[in-house]
Amino acid sequence: MNAVVPVKWVLARMYEPDIVIVDCRFTLGKPESGRAAYEEAHIPGAIYLDLEQDLSGPVEADGSGGRHPLPDPATLAARLGRAGISNESRVVAYDDQGGAMASRLWWLMKYLGHDNVFVMDGGFKAWTEANFPVTAEQRITIPAQFLATVQHNLLSEVYDVQDVVAGTKSATLIDSREPARYRGEVEPIDPVAGHIPGAKNVLWAEGRGADGLWKSTEEQAARFEGLSVNKDDEIIVYCGSGVTATPNVMALLEAGYTNVKLYAGSWSDWVSDKENPVATGDE
């Protein structure tokens, strides 16, 4: 089954006992806005998980690990359990950021060894436009046990990327950020502009059509055709801080690529080490 499910799929299953719906709305620079939106209205029964409080670890003073470091697996597993998510749960994530925040939870669940996780197509906007029910009432969560089986093969560390840049490791680097940031023309967040040398730019948001919905498997495959990569070649995906790269990870997997990894620290981790080279312009 595909990672992305339509709102009608969620509506038909929202009250099934093993379904856990997770509201992941979050706006960078406005950290309280997502929870405030959830408290105002959300899908009935949904719980809320916060990008920075729940789905990221503490930021290091030297910037290593990036702006949204991976949470400690045991800490995240305990948080999921407190939210009522068990190893038997079917998890459906949604946001109002084009799927970026929901995809972060999707990837983290996969990283912890939980495959029964989905992203709701079109997010909260598609749900409300369909006139499906919303509520301000918050469910009473019954804690569950979630045991993590960490899948290290889904993750690339900074030394893996350094080896690719040095030519001692073979992999394709994909930069998921906006083209102007990739080229180094602007950098509104991180202290250095540009991209990792050799990386190709594939904007994460282009995984959605003009209607805001997820593109078909064939359309996703077309986005990556220009990379000249075999389906089983290693691909390392990054963005600014390891969040908006995850929709591209999901798209690549749906397009049939089998060896896709996330550089979780991403650009913000890369530039925390002044020894790491930086490129600008197109490649």
Q: Give the whole-angstrom CA distance, residue 84 versus residue 165.
A: 42
- What is the rounded end-to-end Cα distance, in angstroms, of the chain? 35
CB neighbour burial string for 242-268, b if at least 16 within 10 angstroms, e if fewer = bbbbbbbbbbbbbbebebbbbbbbbbb
Residue with tokens 């080490």: 273
- State the burial class of residue 155 (Cβ atoms within 10 Å of its Cβ: 0-12, 13-18, 19+): middle
Q: Which residues are catalytic?
A: 239
DSSP track, 46-73: -EE--TTTTSS-PPPTT-TT-SSPPPPH
Helices (H), the chain: 7-13, 33-40, 73-82, 100-111, 123-129, 158-166, 179-183, 217-223, 245-254, 266-270
- Indicate the Cα dihedral angle 163, 166, 172, 175, nearest 10°: 90
The answer to whether the CB of 154 falls within 8 A of the CB of 73 is no
> Which ranges of 132-198 does DSSP label H, i.e. alpha helix?
158-166, 179-183
